[in-house]
Amino acid sequence: MSLAPSDHFPPITIEGFSAHLLASAVDPADHTLVMLALCGRISHLEAMSACLAIQSTFSLPGIDGVRWPGNTVRPLITLRQRLDHPGFGTLLLLPHRASPTLMRLHEPAYLIIPPIDPECALSDPLTPPSRFFTILNQIVETPLHASWAPALWLWGLEAGWIRPLLTHRLRAWELAPDDEHLRDWIGERLRARLLPVPSAITDGVAA
């Protein structure tokens, strides 16, 4: 089985087992994996998954010393799929904090845009992805309005509670807002008329 072009799906090796890299996201602070998608021989994928579980380190294109953090830090969602080619399949490792149904209030979350999403091809880093507001609304108690999303996105990047991740063939960020700081920021900007006041918006409905 072959994948082309090879520079889009480079081979990676973990403890002697190899597969093609479909996509990945890595925390730039400590080079821990946030998301990994592989394609290859099922026996190799299973072995690589086991190696990651014991925190074996390996290299991704341009990044050395990559490892998956302990499950107590980032519980895993593991998705496996067999391909039509006998003996081959795909493996997706994803933290619970990247699943909209498993995100929790007051806990950081990941916003991951996969390669199949048209937004993945967008290049403007200052425009919030469409799922940003929905995810943010799930992890904070502060009431939010959808019209504030662009301003919240820019402030989050500037303040550092939105952190871009190192990625291959996808786009990803960690969202780690502080509710108290968020309330203060929104209050200041509402008083200064730098954010739309929900009652003055034509639909009259707060998110």
Q: Cα–Cα–Cα angle for 60, 64, 67, nearest 5°?
A: 80
CA 157 vs CA 29, 64, 176, 177: distances in Å: 16, 26, 11, 11
Model confidence pLDDT, tens digit, residues 87-141:
899 999 887 788 777 788 999 999 999 888 888 888 788 899 999 999 999 999 9
Query: By C-alpha distance, which of 93, 111, 92, 115 is closest to 103?
Result: 111
Q: Are 89 and 78 in contact (CB under 8 A)?
A: no
Q: What is the pLDDT along the chain (207 residues), one digit of tens a residue?
A: 444 445 689 999 999 999 999 999 999 999 999 999 999 999 999 999 999 888 899 999 999 999 987 654 445 667 777 777 888 999 998 877 887 777 889 999 999 998 888 888 887 888 999 999 999 999 999 999 999 999 999 999 999 999 999 999 999 999 999 999 999 999 999 999 999 987 654 444 444
Please state the pTM of the whole predicted model: 0.86
- Do 20 and 40 form a contact (C-beta atoms < 8 A)? yes
Cα distance between residue 6 and residue 18, in whole Å:
14
Roughly how many angstroms between the first and final C-alpha of the chain, as a whole number?
A: 48
